[in-house]
Chain A
Amino acid sequence: MNNKLVTILFCGLLGAGVLAEIIMPDKLYSDSEKRKLAQFPQLSPEEIVDGKLADSTEDYLADQFPWRDGWVTAKTLTELVSGKREYGGVYFAQDGYLIDKFTSYSKKQYAANIQSLAKLDKNLSQSGIPMKVMLVPTAAEILSDKLPSFAPNLSQSELLEYAEKQGLDIVDVSDILREHSGEYIYYKTDHHWTSLGAYYAYCAWKTANSETAEPLSDWIHEELCDNFRGTTYAKVNYPFAPYDTIDAYYKQTSHTVSYNGGAYVTDSLYERKYLDGSDQYAAFLNSNQASTVISGSGTGKLLILKDSYANTFVQFTADDHAETHLIDMRFFKGSVSKYAAENGITEVLVLYNIPNFASDKSVSMAY
């Protein structure tokens, strides 16, 4: 009797699975994982002979599995129940923080990146342009006391020390971020710092330039959204994760912003169309563009060589300069020093978060 029931149950499960897999339409993109999903395998005869069919079919079935997100969540919850305090390279830290692990990096790549910055510095100094470097520690470093007990965590300050030893002019933001570690300076569900975190870094930047930053109250504050769940959330798909708030700070509501040599020109630092989607952080300066020019009410021209950490930072510097240029080395092709000379740049800032800088291969192309 029991065996009969087991047979019915198992065949029922298989049948339901097959039916759901056939009936449910295939999706192109996963919002929660922020990536394209594998599609029905279309292989050439050669690829089939090479045995590619097995992997591509498995990827297809897993990616297009009905209610995939639900299954991933089920796994995450099971892992947490069984004592795990990390998932997919993300720590479940205190106070609802989901923090990217930083436990290893390629020393070779990091050294190469630092070397190429040193070279760039030399090239720029020939045109009389000063260059500063701001390598920002991530939440794993600044909020390390929130990590699970005994959790392995590599010291990011060691990387900073190394950079300093190579003769780069470092703007150290670690101390000021640490001072304010009790405030909302990192998103709970994303690997970025918040606009508030960027403001404190701006204070350090002003100090490094022998100036004093105005108090935050001098900027107009606007809450862009309060339902943000970012990249670390996407990695764990944990339904009980908190929602983050994205704040904007600006002195003038409009700035002329020109992307990629005028391919797209707009009047705001914020691309608000992203606020309705699932990647709200992209609202800052239209996600990641190869080159961006912002007009402001100050003097001089600042060039920032950057990753997405700079997108919130620029809110504060925009009106210190007549123009702020941003270059993302992942998409920009060409010589940075030549760009600086041609555009009359007066100072350069390199702004990356440390783990990203250590692993980003495109940095070594900067010269």
Chain B
Amino acid sequence: MVFSSLTFLLGFLPLVLIVYFAAPKSLKNTILFIFSLLFYAWGEPVYVGLMIFSTLLDYTCGRVAEKYRGKRPAKAALIVSLCANLGLLGLFKYADFLIGTVNGIFGASIPLLDLPLPVGISFYTFQTMSYTIDVYRGEIKAQKNIISFGAYVALFPQLIAGPIVRYQTIAEQIDSRTHSVDRFGKGVKRFVCGLGKKVLLANNIGLLWSTISTADPAALSTVSAWLGIIAFAFQIYFDFSGYSDMAIGLGTIFGFDFCENFNYPYISKSVTEFWRRWHISMGTWFRDYVYIPLGGNRRGFVIQLRNIAVVWLLTGFWHGASWNYVLWGVFYGVILIVEKLFLLKKLEKLPSAVQHIYALLCVAVGWVLFAFENIGKGVKFLGTMFGVGAGFCDDSALYQLTSYAPLLVICAFASLPAAKKIAAKIGGKLAAKPGKIGNALAGTALLFGVAAVTLLSTAYLVSGSYNPFLYFRF
């Protein structure tokens, strides 16, 4: 199930809210666990088994790792957890890719497995792995209650598309958390904000991208290609960060504080900065469980470069089992190394406009590599963007530009911190009016905003057959 669906908004959500808040404290985790499994099973009933398996396994590994900390069984438990989680990921996500590659290189004809990818597997395997690692390292206590642990693994708000919530960040909240109307309202605001980003911005600007990416590449003009990749950049940002917002908002309602996942990535002045602002929970995961264990930057410059290379190869590969994602990872790995070597220092001396343009240009090229699974097509598209063998502008580009100009402006505005600041300022100004009127005005404006976004999103969900979810299959 996805949040941006009528089934969730008018079926699942009201039901889970009623049951959850009506239940006594002692039953809340059980209810969350059951509803989370239902949420998962809705679209893929068979794969619930995998999730339960993963839960039982890491629960056991965690207990063993704690009991025998520093001894051999603990290490064995860690290895079992790593092998099982990576094994699951390998089997369901990468096996066919590997078979295809082997077949391609050796001319073999090993049959593909054709297993559908279990939703969210990239996210929950990483979460359960990090749990066992943290227990093994002695950073956290193992969870004794299997239901509580299950509620963590299957926790529906973050189940499908992250953020990657590490156990240590919500360990206390699993066993005891507070609920309040204040939290509820805060969560709703965040959820509705994410819903709007996903349904109103991402889906609609995504239409522009799908028009352009499916058009005949030979007839594409440079302006169209740029419009297309800008549309894709907005689509993937609002889709993914909108989903994170909804997850964080729901988490807040149910008493959890999830980590932030995005921090206005498109205002970055360098690629290094971009990756501190984009999909933060994944970046920190790779930092804490790959980069630092490999030695980080403490074992000399050469080792550090190797570590960066390893992390980015894996980051690329994590996004999908296809060579273009690997290339995308390598692309960022190389730029990050170059920035580390000398470019960052040089960039800092340039006017900030130049820094922004540089960073956005790199990101745009990155999205082309990311968007086209067929690398040849991606390279051709890049050619069109930079005027190789393509006309500069044509009628269809002008039609798209004029049709999407207002939405593009809204998207650009919404990806800047200014949007939030202005909203806060208006709220503040209204509230500052004398007496009760100010508060009433600010409150009304807020309520109007929440209602408008909710209702408009509903209108789009009711009438929209176009509701693809980009990060579903990662």
Contact = CB atoms under 8 A, between A and B. Distances in A.
B45 A71 contact: no
B46, B185, B461, B464 interface centre (most CB from chain A within 10 Å): B185
Nearest to B214: A104
A322 interface: no
A150 B463 contact: no
B407 A10 contact: no
Given A17-B9, A75-B463, A78-B459, A10 B402 contact: no
A78 B456 contact: yes
A9 B6 contact: no
Nearest to A72: B463
B43 A61 contact: no
Interface stretch (B25-33, B71-79, B157-165, B446-454): B446-454
B459 A83 contact: no
Contacts of B44: 51
B10 A53 contact: no
B189 A6 contact: yes
Interface string A20-45: 01000000000000000000000000
A74 B456 contact: yes
B399 A150 contact: yes
Contacts of B395: 150, 152
A14 B399 contact: no
B13 to A, nearest CB: 7
Interface in B449-474: 450-451, 454-456, 458-464
Interface residues of B, number: 53
Interface in A81-103: 82-86
B447 A18 contact: no
B32 to A, nearest CB: 19
B185 A3 contact: yes
Given A62-B461, A75-B463, A149-B402, A83 B407 contact: yes
A77 to B, nearest CB: 9
Interface in A278-292: none
Interface in B404-449: 404-407, 410, 439, 442-443, 446-447
B6 A62 contact: yes
Contacts of B460: 75, 78
Interface residues of A, number: 44
Interface string B394-405: 011011001111
A6 B447 contact: yes
A3 B184 contact: yes
Interface string A54-86: 100110011001001001101110100011111
B182 A14 contact: no
Contacts of B185: 2-7
Contacts of B447: 5-6, 9
B462 A62 contact: yes
A151 B42 CA distance: 42
B391 interface: no
A49 B46 contact: yes
Contacts of A72: 459, 462-463
Interface string B167-205: 000000000000001111110110010000000000010
B70 interface: no
B57 interface: no
B13 A14 contact: yes
A6 B446 contact: yes
A9 B450 contact: yes
A78 B410 CA distance: 14
Contacts of B405: 83
B1 interface: yes
Contact of A74 (B1, B9, B459): B459
B6 A6 contact: no
Nearest to B189: A6
Contacts of B355: none
Nearest to B180: A3
B11 A61 contact: yes
Contacts of A50: 45
B184 A58 contact: no
A10 B192 CA distance: 9
B461 A2 contact: no
Contacts of A6: 185, 188-189, 446-447, 450
A15 interface: yes
A2 B11 CA distance: 26
Residue among A7, A14, A85 with max Cβ neighbours from chain B (10 Å): A7
B7 interface: yes
Contacts of B389: none
A1 interface: yes
Contact of B443 (A5, A84, A149): A5
Contacts of A84: 403
9 contacts: A3-B182, A4-B185, A5-B185, A10-B192, A11-B17, A15-B14, A17-B10, A54-B1, A75-B464
The 9 lowest CB-CB distance pairs between A and B, nearest first, are A3-B185, A150-B399, A6-B185, A72-B463, A61-B6, A71-B462, A74-B459, A54-B43, A150-B398
Interface of A: 1-7, 9-11, 13-15, 17-18, 21, 48-51, 53-54, 57-58, 61-62, 65, 68, 71-72, 74-76, 78, 82-86, 148-152
Given A4-B185, A15-B14, A53-B45, 19 more contacts: A1-B439, A2-B185, A3-B182, A3-B189, A4-B182, A10-B188, A10-B450, A18-B11, A53-B42, A54-B1, A62-B6, A78-B456, A83-B405, A83-B407, A85-B402, A149-B402, A150-B399, A150-B402, A152-B396
